[in-house]
Amino acid sequence: MVASAHAAVKEEPVTYTDGETTMKGFVVYDDATQAKRPGIVMVHEWWGITPHIHNEARKFAEQGYVAFIADMYGDAKTADNPKDAGALSGSVMKNPKAMEQRFNAAREQLAKQPSVNPQRIGAVGYCFGGAVVLNMARTGADLAAVAVFHALLGPNTPAPAPGTVKAKVLILNGADDPFVKREQYDALKKDFDAAKADYRIVEYPGAVHAFTNPESTELGKKFNLPLRYDAKADQESKAEAAKLFATNLQK
């Protein structure tokens, strides 16, 4: 699928609920075409819904997808420091059932968009969001393909049974990311191999955490964290994700 040469990417807020919690997501799409398109659920970094996830969603919309920015914290909460970000992300990761409910609520909102083909839905996640998306793949979420960038790999859900993982899984991480341990890769491979999942891991030499976020270098300096933008890894990983979705969503 090729986006229109006269693409006009629109972004609209979408209010939805998870139980009694109000969620504030965004649908991002090119309104130059009326054709139904594949959809991609986008899950933010631990900071919450920031300019980074908006920019990423626009890029996918320009490629011919309808992107839905999921609100995993409720009321579009954001954090401007690691302590608060850790508290917000931890509240989700420690409650896998709530994580699943919030992800599925976002997926449902995406699937009901009039411009979306509900049979062709994937997901993308960054950092914390990558962990969310990987956990959803492990639980058998109805997704054709998922790509995760600088994802945290510690599982928060049980090892999947054979045949459970429906999605093609692409993990795009920095080879020098200190937040991801070798034993976590080993555990993930063991689980996915046993589940007969279709997955691939790509590691980018020299890249550390948050390499797709242009703001990460300054955030790393500000908070003394191993965060750094890496233009080469960013470009190469996005090309890998584009191929994954072109093959598995744009059929």
Over the stretch 203-231, which tens digit does the pLDDT of each residue have?
999 999 999 999 999 999 999 999 999 99
| pLDDT at residue 197 in the model | 98
Closest CA to 59 of 234, 199, 247: 234
| Distances from the Cα of 211 to the Cα of 29, 52, 82, 198, 232, angstroms | 25, 11, 17, 25, 9
pLDDT for res 73: 98
pLDDT at 241: 99
Report helix, strand or coil for 183.
helix
Separation CA 61–CA 245 (nearest Å): 12
Predicted pLDDT at 33:
85
Amino acid at 114: P
CATH of 9-248, one of 3.40.50.150, 3.30.70.100, 3.40.50.1820, 1.20.1250.20: 3.40.50.1820
Tell me the pLDDT tens digit for each residue of 126-177: 999 999 999 999 999 999 999 999 999 988 999 999 999 999 999 999 999 9
Rounded Cα–Cα distance for residues 84 and 82 (Å): 6
CB of 112 within 8 A of CB of 106?
A: no
CA 177 to chain centroid: 18
Q: For position 124, what pLDDT does the model report?
A: 99
Q: Which residue has the higher pLDDT, 251 or 122?
A: 122
Per the listing, tokens 């990460």 go with: 216
Q: What is the mean pLDDT of residues 192-199?
A: 98
User: Which residue, chain included where needed, has tokens 């699928």?
Assistant: 1
Residue length of the chain:
251
Q: Give 130's Cβ-side CA count (13 Å radius).
A: 21
Give the global pTM. 0.95
- Strand 9-18 to strand 21-30: parallel, antiparallel, or no bridges (unpaired)? antiparallel
CA pair distance 64, 116, nearest whole angstrom: 11
Q: What sign does the dihedral 240-245-248-251 (CA atoms) show?
A: negative
